Amino acid sequence: MTKYQRDLAERICRSFIGGVIAAATMSLTSPVTDISSAKALVMGAICGGISAVLGLLSKGIGDPNSAGTS
Protein backbone atom coordinates (compact mmCIF):
# COMPACT_ATOMS: atom_id res chain seq x y z
CA MET A 1 0.00 0.00 0.00
CA THR A 2 1.42 3.39 -0.97
CA LYS A 3 1.68 6.40 1.33
CA TYR A 4 -1.17 8.04 -0.58
CA GLN A 5 -3.43 5.00 -0.19
CA ARG A 6 -2.71 4.79 3.56
CA ASP A 7 -3.37 8.50 3.97
CA LEU A 8 -6.64 8.30 2.02
CA ALA A 9 -7.82 5.23 3.97
CA GLU A 10 -7.02 6.93 7.27
CA ARG A 11 -8.92 10.06 6.27
CA ILE A 12 -11.94 8.01 5.16
CA CYS A 13 -11.99 6.01 8.41
CA ARG A 14 -11.66 9.12 10.54
CA SER A 15 -14.48 10.84 8.67
CA PHE A 16 -16.72 7.78 8.99
CA ILE A 17 -16.09 7.45 12.72
CA GLY A 18 -16.57 11.19 13.24
CA GLY A 19 -19.87 11.12 11.33
CA VAL A 20 -21.19 8.20 13.36
CA ILE A 21 -20.15 9.81 16.65
CA ALA A 22 -21.70 13.13 15.65
CA ALA A 23 -24.99 11.46 14.68
CA ALA A 24 -25.05 9.38 17.88
CA THR A 25 -24.32 12.48 19.97
CA MET A 26 -27.16 14.39 18.30
CA SER A 27 -29.50 11.51 19.08
CA LEU A 28 -28.49 11.48 22.74
CA THR A 29 -28.64 15.22 23.35
CA SER A 30 -31.85 16.21 21.59
CA PRO A 31 -35.18 14.39 21.74
CA VAL A 32 -36.26 16.22 18.57
CA THR A 33 -33.47 14.66 16.49
CA ASP A 34 -33.89 11.01 17.47
CA ILE A 35 -31.53 9.21 15.09
CA SER A 36 -31.51 5.42 14.77
CA SER A 37 -28.30 3.40 14.63
CA ALA A 38 -28.85 2.69 10.93
CA LYS A 39 -29.21 6.39 10.17
CA ALA A 40 -26.06 7.14 12.17
CA LEU A 41 -24.15 4.56 10.10
CA VAL A 42 -25.51 6.05 6.88
CA MET A 43 -24.43 9.52 7.99
CA GLY A 44 -20.98 8.14 8.78
CA ALA A 45 -20.82 6.47 5.36
CA ILE A 46 -21.75 9.75 3.66
CA CYS A 47 -18.97 11.54 5.57
CA GLY A 48 -16.51 8.83 4.56
CA GLY A 49 -17.66 9.01 0.94
CA ILE A 50 -17.21 12.76 0.82
CA SER A 51 -13.73 12.33 2.30
CA ALA A 52 -12.90 9.73 -0.36
CA VAL A 53 -14.03 11.99 -3.20
CA LEU A 54 -12.09 14.96 -1.84
CA GLY A 55 -8.99 12.81 -1.32
CA LEU A 56 -9.17 11.50 -4.89
CA LEU A 57 -9.72 14.98 -6.32
CA SER A 58 -6.80 16.42 -4.39
CA LYS A 59 -4.31 13.75 -5.49
CA GLY A 60 -2.96 16.01 -8.24
CA ILE A 61 -2.61 19.01 -5.93
CA GLY A 62 0.41 19.43 -3.67
CA ASP A 63 2.24 16.37 -2.36
CA PRO A 64 1.39 13.27 -4.46
CA ASN A 65 1.85 11.08 -1.35
CA SER A 66 -0.88 12.94 0.54
CA ALA A 67 -4.66 12.86 0.16
CA GLY A 68 -4.74 16.51 1.24
CA THR A 69 -4.21 19.64 -0.78
CA SER A 70 -1.13 20.86 1.10
pLDDT, residue 56, reads 86
Nearest Cα to Cα of residue 13 among 51, 54, 67: 51
Q: pLDDT for 35-48, tens place per residue?
A: 777 888 888 999 99
Q: pLDDT for 9-39, tens place per residue?
A: 999 999 999 998 888 787 766 665 667 778 8
Q: Give the angle 17-23-27 at the CA atoms, nearest 5°.
A: 140
Taking the whole predicted model, whether its pTM rises above 0.85 is answered as: no
